[in-house]
Amino acid sequence: MSLREEILEVSKELLIKEGFSKLSMRRIAERADVSATSIYLYFKNKDDLLLALIEESIENLKASLMEVVDASKGFLMQLEDMARAYIEYALNHPQEYEIIYMVRPEEMPKYPKEKFMNIRSGYELLADIIREGHDQEQIDVEDALINAYTLWAQLHGVVSVILNKRLDTRIPQQQFIEQALENIIRGFVMQKTQA
């Protein structure tokens, strides 16, 4: 394993075990048994390293979503499956999920915004399913891509509130998730009474 890979591996371990706030260059270096400056031989700076971690997390998230795609199911079912898969991934891999949204593009202008758009194919995947629903006149949407983004945003909001521990203690997490899923999905279903 190259040192670059070693650094990435160790960084990921550290991220998962100790969280984003403990992820410092010197700690990574220590764990990898090299000097901190060696990291700069393989990454321009910390943001560059984080970006590599982010991309990996995005790949994992996308893979999780891909797994539940099953064209034989109805699209409503697929929509719900994907929504559940999204939430599940986020809650099961909190650090890996959060790092995706933690690092802010505006704070690292060196990188093209495109880098952060790697997740794009994930949206396309969602857009495809939404389009399918529209074709079968069971989902009431105009622009599938925009709706994919709104769906994604709503899901992100749900997991974000949970991960940031902003949920009222009076509210059971699972019930919150179920209610949110219900409301979100219903927001996409065609209202035939209006048509």
Partner DNA sequence: ATGAGAGGTTAACACTGTTAAGTTAACAAT
Partner DNA sequence: ATTGTTAACTTAACAGTGTTAACCTCTCAT
Binding site for a copy of itself (CB under 8 A): 21, 101, 104-107, 113, 116-117, 119-120, 123, 142-143, 145-147, 149-158, 160-161, 164-171, 175-176, 179-180, 182-189, 191-193
* Beta-strand runs (E) in the chain: none
* Residue 35 interface partner, choices DNA, a copy of itself, none, CB cut-off 5-8 Å depending on type: DNA
Give the span between the Cα atoms of 181 and 178, in whole angstroms. 5
Q: How many helices, marked H, and strands, marked E, lie in the chain?
A: 8, 0
Residue 148 to residue 130: CA distance in whole angstroms: 7
Residue 126: name its binding partner from a copy of itself, DNA, none (Cβ under 5 to 8 Å by kind): none
Site string for DNA, 30-69 (x = CB under 7 A): ----xxxxx-xx---xxx----------------------
- Comparing CB distances to a copy of itself, the nearer of 1 and 166 is 166
Q: Do residues 188 and 78 touch, judged by C-beta distance below 8 A?
A: no
Q: Are 58 and 69 in contact (CB under 8 A)?
A: no
Residues found near DNA in the complex (CB under 7 A): 3, 23-27, 34-38, 40-41, 45-47
